[in-house]
Structure 1
């Protein structure tokens, strides 16, 4: 069942006790698609925990809030049976933290795929910990290995630091000798994935490492791929819920440099000149999300270039649902299972 906010404004007000600004948003949303009950539950939990709007807090406070919320509400949708290892990989003059999830549920005749994953958070918040449950669930449901990368964040590290870390980490895992060092098979298909800002990183990696190392697949969850913010869905949801026009601008200001303009494909991957020979892609899209339209447009560019694309649009879901499985349990299970089936297509038979 879906709640149409216009029909249930009184109920939503009772549940959320929104401030005047958010009540104005609620009124405008009466003409928008229905919100799923789990979306309403997520907004309710944010209110209960007195989570301040991201534009009103420092990056340090935003991180603290996000970590606290994840610790309390990110129960996995499925128990992970396997090994979890925290490692550091040497990238040029620095080390990056990585958490590797290696399930035991695949037969000896199969080499699982490896998903190198980048968490969301506007390149400013989020971490390996905030996305632990999502990555563990993906590994368990797909019988694939997942490597969650702790890339550098803004404002301490400006653009293109996150991009450089993403490129270097995938190149590292694409080398079978390196994988062997962290207990992974030398012969396995390697792909990239991420949600929101992490999805943007995955898309950039798929383009820029084409021809340099083999990337077998990409998993993009409501990716930010068009920094012009000019689509209709950006206008529809400029005031949220959760991800607002002001929040996007604020986070962008944290990592901005002179190179960080909207025509730079590293910020707007949809502007890469060619999409031919990109790896197969699965797209997870939340219906009630500013990134809805650009995610669809990105999938169309891939399809028009002859790339195999699978798309799942979740009605009534809002941005950030994917990393909150403790609240959006059924929606996350649906999305995780959809991705898991895609990952199984990239197993290798021994």
Structure 2
């Protein structure tokens, strides 16, 4: 299998983003202690924080006993679940992402501060997301990146009988795909996220032991994909997780549901933080916002996506 040429796939603006990220978040961070991982990640996120767009305000709220941050906007609500390998991140790490989502879509955004591993083992994070979704009134759209995309998909499976979930938008999600083939091998040494990183996080919610066949942990390992809400999944091209978005959409369509998957060309894992500096990331962020807006209205602008 030929090695991908990242010097060709990744443009100069994205390389600048990668270099800025790695200056505060080194490539070997996953091998450090949990405390060090969180400290380094928080520092990196603070350096990329863009502030709030004019007119956006947010307040902390407890919803179903889970700490949340609510960005004021119209309904339906967008439940946003942050990434971070189930280990790092929180209301601070994706604060400006949520503010930009609120400003661009005009919708209320509810960020969920779910419990992190390894202190809180599965199903803690999954239970927190489900609890918030159940407690919020009215219709809503689920959205999340990376680990957050996993938690959104898991919640959508568990709560699929609820007509209140209008759809879900998953951004470079890790959904428990087959790590012995495809993008997991092609992009095993990709910038920003490697296969070794994925392997580390795979068992973090179970004390280091990986559990197979549990869709609350790995939505792609479900046996029934029927009845799921309309789904838009976005992959980063240069990411070991890239195939998960497409595999998940394919499984939903095979079960008779609506699902579309797209690949952001030349993008790397974590590119949401590049939306203000990298044109390709900005284009993808616009598409993400458009997808959330469409699903919030009950629209499906993707036809019979194949």
Written as runs of structure 1 = structure 2, the 5 A alignment for 1:269-280 is: 269-280=219-230
Equivalent residue for 1:338, pick from 267, 287, 296: 287
In structure 2, the partner of 1:197 is 147
In structure 1, the partner of 2:197 is 247
Gaps in structure 1 of 5+ consecutive residues: 1-26, 104-110, 177-187
Q: Cα 1:207–1:71, aligned 2, differ >3 Å: closer, same or farther?
A: same
Residue 30 (1) aligns with residue 5 (2): yes
Residue 97 (1) aligns with residue 67 (2): yes
Cα deviation per residue 1:296-346 (whole Å; 9 max; x = unaligned)? 111111222232223332111011112443544x33432232122223234
In structure 2, the partner of 1:117 is 80
Name the CA distance, whole Å, in 2 between partners of 1:265 and 1:259. Answer: 16
Work out the number of aligned pairs and report it: 297
Name the CA distance, whole Å, in 2 between partners of 1:30 and 1:346. Answer: 36
Residues 115 and 144 in structure 1, CA contact (< 8 A), matched pair in contact too = yes
Equivalent residue for 2:59, pick from 81, 85, 89: 85
In structure 2, the partner of 1:171 is 134
Give the TM-score normalised by structure 1.
Answer: 0.78
In structure 2, the partner of 1:179 is none
Residue 58 (1) aligns with residue 33 (2): yes
Name the CA distance, whole Å, in 1 between partners of 2:6 and 2:166. Answer: 41
Name the CA distance, whole Å, in 2 between partners of 1:197 and 1:248. Answer: 11
305-314 or 152-161, which deviates more = 305-314
Name the CA distance, whole Å, in 2 between partners of 1:259 and 1:252. Answer: 8
Name the CA distance, whole Å, in 2 between partners of 1:89 and 1:259. Answer: 31
CA RMSD of aligned residues (A): 2.5
SS at match of 2:5: helix
Rg larger for: 1
Residue 152 (1) aligns with residue 115 (2): yes
Name the CA distance, whole Å, in 2 between partners of 1:41 and 1:137. Answer: 22
Written as runs of structure 1 = structure 2, the 5 A alignment for 1:173-322 is: 173=136, 176=137, 188-212=138-162, 214-257=164-207, 260-322=210-272
SS at match of 1:247: helix
Gaps in structure 2 of 5+ consecutive residues: 299-306
Residues 112 and 348 in structure 1, CA contact (< 8 A), matched pair in contact too = no
Cα deviation per residue 1:45-85 (whole Å; 9 max; x = unaligned)? 13433636223311111111111111111326x82523211
Residues 70 and 324 in structure 1, CA contact (< 8 A), matched pair in contact too = no
SS at match of 1:88: strand
Name the CA distance, whole Å, in 2 between partners of 1:247 and 1:228. Answer: 15
